[in-house]
Amino acid sequence: MAVKKVVTFGEIMLRLTPPGFKRFSQTNNFEVIYGGGESNVAVSLANYGLPSTFVSRLPDNDIGQCALMELRKRGVDTSQIVRGGERLGIYFLEIGAVSRGSKVIYDRAHSAMSTIQAGMIDWESVFADAGWFHWTGITPAISQGAADACLEAIKVANKMGVTVSTDLNYRKKLWKYGKEPGEVMPALVEGCDVILGNEEDAEKHFGLHPDGADVTSGHVDAKSYLSVLKKLMEMFPRAKKVITTLRGSISASHNTWSGVLYDGKTLYEAPQYDITHIVDRVGGGDSFMGGLIYGLMTYPDDDQNALNFAVAASCLKHTIYGDANLATIDEVKKLMAGDASGRVSR
């Protein structure tokens, strides 16, 4: 039986980054990358060989076309992207190191995606051969129109029996159109079967906070998150699985990384990785989500294996420059099996 496609919905942007570890004030040029939460997930899945479709709104100009070409190059289906609007959103990224954190500056006001409206996308057509739909909390933070279109998609997916997942992804710099996350997010998350979020997402969206968790200590106790996962499941009874990533920030260059999955009965905990020399942590959560969707679709009766795949995949993403995870299935499985040697393959 053919594998049903995964659909993701959100904004892809032009990322401009000073080369190396330069500060904005030092650089005379920027490196160009195209990326965004939901497009990064689509790229991960296409890279693993799953059919993936990215839905968005792009300006009908050369820069919009460049973003489209980047997705196509990675094997993502772009046939459902609608064209229109004024511009592609931009974000500037200054990559941090050691005790200096990375910095993001958004320039995405009036982007094509921010001016999307409900009714612009034929969701029944989009989901005709889909088995999974993924969105993130970034999309409803962009504008009321984007939130409305996202809710429209979730309702159609629910009606058509498509599994729906979300990465809560709180972005305080985006909620600027007069609504608080708590006014918008619950109606969207109510339609989700799988919910991913970290400690900040749960607190900022729904006021939930894990007991005794301190991410700056360098160690995150998985069990301290169980209360939050249980509360999320109580708030959103449709959810069958609730997951959180566990990032301990020792420095901008050195993090510990793991994750837990709760299915209402059992708390699954993945191995913890010590990522000592981070190349690029942007897209780390997206790579986890891409790995998780792949894992849950590939190992439907083995949540532990699905979670382990997601954590190993996203661990590898931290070694890859750019927004998207380009690690292969073989590389992920090698790390899952305990080989973190990084030896040359020849």
Domain ranges of the chain: 5-336
First to last CA, the chain: 36
Given this model, what pLDDT does residue 211 score?
A: 65
Rg, the chain, Cα only: 19
**What does the CA dihedral 306, 312, 314, 316 come to, rounded to 10 degrees?**
-150
Range 5-336: architecture per CATH: 3-Layer(aba) Sandwich (3.40)
User: pTM of the prediction?
Assistant: 0.94
Q: Which segments of 190-334 are extended strands (E)? A: 194-196, 241-249, 255-262, 267-269, 273-275
Q: In the prediction, which pLDDT does 3 show? A: 80
- What is the spatial distance between Cα 48 and Cα 291, in angstroms, rounded to a whole number? 9
**Amino acid, res. 43:** V
How many CB atoms are closer than 10 A to CB 66? 14
pLDDT tens sequence across 265-278: 999 999 999 999 99
Q: Is residue 248 a contact partner of residue 288, using CB atoms and an 8 Å limit? A: no
pLDDT of residue 339: 82
* Length of the chain as a residue count: 346
Determine the 3-state secondary structure of 186 from DSSP.
helix
Collect the ranges in the chain with pLDDT lower than 50. Answer: 215
Both structure tokens of 305: 């294996």
Bridge partners, 13 (sequence order)? 35
**pLDDT at residue 343 in the model:** 75
Short-list 285, 337, 18, 257, CA closest to 171: 285
Contacts of 137 (CB under 8 A, 6+ apart): 166, 167, 168, 169, 170, 171, 181, 185, 201, 205
